[in-house]
Amino acid sequence: MHKQAYSRWLAATAALIAVAACGGGGEKTGAGASTGATTGAAPAPAPSAGAGATTAAAPGGAAAAKPITGKTWDVKMIGDATGYRYEPKDITIKQGDGIKWTVVSTPPHNVSFWPDSLPPGTAGALEANMTNAMSPLVGPLLLNAGDTYTMSFAGVPAGTYKYYCTPHLALGMRGTITVQ
């Protein structure tokens, strides 16, 4: 009987180690690392430094992301004593502009779009510009203060796009992007 208990303990420990080992590997992102792939393509003057064009393919091998051809706007991802939020919460941009979300405090954060709030027929264009997406319309989790995610709105039809932070949705972390 003692041997059986030890065997179960050993199997459970081995399984736990295997699961823990699955959490590592791949490219690490640290403070200041960008999760959205960017290039040095010459965008129009932007309010933020280091703005570039996103170039990675969309999930499932769909069309490649379109480059940012206008301004790149900064949105902060914040969690503090006053709540979890995007600053600014609501932003109006032009087609071709980009947004760079930056984790300021209390990660993880991400950008997830409400599929049922999108203007009709826009999901494909939006998904194509979401590099490193975890699933359709869900951007990657940013795990460290200083991490960024940049997304182009080139080729995205005009309209209102409601989004939220998956880990902090219940805490009210929501925003709206109006594309003109």
> Does residue 165 have an active-site annotation?
yes
Alpha-carbon distances, residue 68 vs 38, 50, 108, 177 (angstroms): 10, 12, 25, 16
Residue 81 lies in a domain: yes
Range of the domain at 119: 32-179
Q: Cα separation of 75 and 99, whole Å?
A: 7
Q: Which of 1, 22, 109, 151 is catalytic?
A: 109
- pLDDT tens profile 123-154: 999 999 999 999 999 999 999 999 999 999 99
> Does residue 2 have an active-site annotation?
no
Res. 27 pLDDT band, cuts 50 70 90? very low
Number of structural domains found in the chain: 1
Q: Which of 77, 130, 151, 168 is catalytic?
A: 168
Res. 26 pLDDT band, cuts 50 70 90? very low
Residue 7 lies in a domain: no
pLDDT score at 64: 84
> What letter represents residue 163's amino acid?
Y
Residue 111 lies in a domain: yes
In the 8-state DSSP scheme, what is residue 13? Answer: H
Residue 156 lies in a domain: yes
Residue 109 lies in a domain: yes
pLDDT score at 61: 46
Higher pLDDT, 137 or 35: 137
Flag whether pLDDT at 179 surpasses 90. Answer: yes
Higher pLDDT, 53 or 108: 108
Residue 2 lies in a domain: no
Segments of 61-115 assigned E as strands: 72-80, 83-87, 90-93, 98-103, 112-113
Which helix (H) or strand (E) is 14 found in, with range?
helix 2-22
Q: Cα separation of 116 and 57, whole Å?
A: 23
Residue 119 lies in a domain: yes
User: The tokens of 176 are what?
Assistant: 């709206």
Residue 102 lies in a domain: yes
Res. 62 pLDDT band, cuts 50 70 90? low
Cis peptide before 157 (omega within 30 of 0): no
Q: Which of 77, 130, 151, 165 is catalytic?
A: 165
Higher pLDDT, 6 or 124: 124
pLDDT score at 17: 42
β-strand pairing of 148-152 with 98-103: antiparallel
For the domain that residue 38 is a member of, what is the CATH number?
A: 2.60.40.420
Flag whether pLDDT at 168 surpasses 50. Answer: yes
Res. 113 pLDDT band, cuts 50 70 90? very high
Q: Cα separation of 147 and 31, whole Å?
A: 5
Higher pLDDT, 42 or 148: 148
Flag whether pLDDT at 97 surpasses 60. Answer: yes
The backbone region for 50, taken as left when phi is positive above 0, alpha when psi lies in -120 to 50, beta otherwise, is left
Res. 96 pLDDT band, cuts 50 70 90? very high
